[in-house]
Amino acid sequence: MSQTNAELQSRKDAATPRGVGVMCDFYAARAENAELWDIEGHRFIDFAAGIAVCNTGHRHPKIVAAIRDQLDRFTHTAYQVVPYASYVELAEKINARAPGDYPKKTAFFTTGAEAVENAIKIARAATGRPGVIAFNGAFHGRTLLGMALTGKVVPYKSGFGPFPSDVFHVPFPNPLHGVTTADSLKALESLFKADIDPKRVAAIIFEPVQGEGGFYPAPAEFVRALRKLCNAHGILLIADEVQTGFARTGKLFAMHHYDVVPDLMTMAKSLAGGMPLSGVVGRADVMDAAAPGGLGGTYAGNPLALAAAHAVLDIIDEEQLCERANALGDRLKAKLDELRRDVPQLAEVRGPGAMVAAEFLKPGSTEPDAEFAKRVQTRALERGLLLLVCGVYSNVVRFLFPLTIQDTVFDEALAILGDVLKESVEVAA
């Protein structure tokens, strides 16, 4: 029996809690590469990609085939009970590809938040210290420790405390909003004087490009300074690559853009092309700090997801998706820069590779314009283009199209975006 979007929306409101925020009021029926159709047959160009999960597009044939092949063999044994080769083989591939020329080990989990929590567990086990430092604007998950690490209150932390102790925040460099690298480093020095002895800090965790926080890239001098600080005090440096990984920034991992390496790195999202899989990779001696049984999970390293991840790495290599990310990102940034002449609210266009953001401020001021960003998102959706808003002030539009998107579809999306931005200016006037 056919259903309508309105009928399902009514049922959704009655059956599921409002705390699960849902952007769209229509329901997916099928998707292919960078296009999605709802249950009423309407087509959308997907510039959200499941929040950076489908870098390799929806239903890439190689991923579908890999999952089907694994489905014919087995779906679950629990790796901690009966292991399987695909886990070991993927760990070997990640160890070889992750930044750093030291010996590495990798453990797999299910969600990005799980990866982050396990990275903190490993860091505490390795150092014997409790403290963790994160940054304002960071997003590290919705679990209790993930929320404590996250540097944005509404909607992620509001009403859910108290949170785990020994978690501290300092400002993340953000030149557009007046926060320099020097300011961030000075805040770290003040933290060590006022709140926690650096000898009690297990780890500093940061995103090479803040995701939910607004797609702000970490300046190279800032990352170097963090590495130096960590070395001086015996602190482990954790790079959270849950959103930045797997070709999104024009390199396999965003940390490949820097000349320093982390001790631990988290990954998830596009690792398995739509299947739930996450991981932590890091220095072998650090990764071995936790005792047997201290890491894992019933579904951690699910065999179907691992099969998909092997296919994802092959696709990134075979279709040169790092290079394509750079090419597509350059085209998008050029289009947005061209539009800045007609869109006074468009204050900055930024981001490495295809991890691109447009930030909107009220003309002639430094005041965030969340209303304008929301208008752009809403009007784009009406035209069949899915966009996501992010940032502490919700004034940033982020672009997360599949890196496999067809050129004709990409051009169509850019045309829609240009029209929508100009229309939004007219309404604001």
Residue 109: give the domain boundaries: 74-318
Q: Are strands 356-360 and 167-170 parallel, antiparallel or unpaired?
A: unpaired
Based on the fold, state whether residues 380 and 250 are members of the same structural domain.
no
CATH number, residue 309: 3.40.640.10
Residues 248 and 55 sit within 8 Å (Cβ to Cβ): yes
Are β-strands 236-240 and 264-267 bridged in parallel, bridged antiparallel, or unpaired? parallel
Q: Within this chain, do residues 283 and 344 fall inside the same structural domain, yes or no?
A: no
In a domain, 69, yes or no: no
CATH number of the structural domain spanning residue 56 = 3.90.1150.10
The pLDDT assigned to 2 comes to 74
My answer on whether 269 and 280 are in the same domain is yes
Give the DSSP H/E element, type plus range, for residue 282. strand 278-283
Is residue 67 assigned to a domain? no
Are 336 and 346 in contact by the 8 Å Cβ rule? The answer is: yes
What pLDDT is stored for residue 1 in this prediction?
A: 56
Report the alpha-carbon distance of residue 306 to residue 303 in Å, rounded.
5
Residues 399, 267: one domain? no
Q: What is the pLDDT of residue 174?
A: 96
Q: List b or e across 285-302, with b for residues whose CB sees 16 or more CB atoms inside 10 angstroms.
A: ebbebbeeeebbbebbbb
Q: Please say whether the beta carbons of 28 and 386 come within 8 A.
A: no
Q: Do 125 and 196 belong to one domain?
A: yes
Residues 190 and 282 occupy one common structural domain: yes
Both structure tokens of 282: 């890091």
Instruction: Please report whether residue 68 resides in a domain.
Output: no
Residue 65 belongs to some domain of the structure? no
Q: Are residues 329 and 312 in the same domain?
A: no
Looking at the structure, tell me whether residues 367 and 255 fall in a common domain: no
Collapse the DSSP code of 44 into the 3-class scheme (helix H, G, I; strand E, B; otherwise coil) and give the result: strand
- Nearest alpha-carbon partner for 342 in 419, 240, 262: 419
Query: Is 354 part of a structural domain of the chain?
Result: yes
Distance CA 29, CA 37 (A): 6
Mean pLDDT by 10 residues, the chain (429 residues): 89 96 96 98 98 98 98 98 98 98 98 98 98 98 96 92 96 96 98 98 98 97 98 98 98 98 98 98 98 97 98 98 98 97 97 98 95 98 98 97 98 98 88
Q: What are the helix (H) ranges across 150-287?
A: 181-194, 220-233, 284-287
In a domain, 66, yes or no: no
Q: How far apart are CA 122 and CA 285, in angstroms?
A: 10
Last residue of a domain, one of 269, 288, 318: 318
138 in Cβ contact with 207 (< 8 Å):
yes
Total domains in the chain come to: 2
Same domain? For 122 and 47 the reply is no
Strands 28-32 and 264-267: what pairing? Answer: unpaired
For residue 252, the surrounding DSSP H or E stretch is none
Q: Choose one of 285, 318, 351: the last residue of a domain.
A: 318
pTM: 0.97
Based on the fold, state whether residues 142 and 125 are members of the same structural domain: yes
Q: Do 329 and 311 reside in the same domain of the chain?
A: no
Could you identify the residue written with the tokens 């853009």?
257
Domain final residue pick, 318, 345, 364 = 318
Q: What's the rounded Cα separation, in Å, for the pair 173 and 207?
A: 12
| pLDDT for 426 | 86
Distance CA 408, CA 98 (A): 33
Query: Is residue 183 in some structural domain?
Result: yes
* 190/181 Cα distance (integer angstroms): 14
Task: Say whether both 47 and 100 belong to one domain.
Answer: no
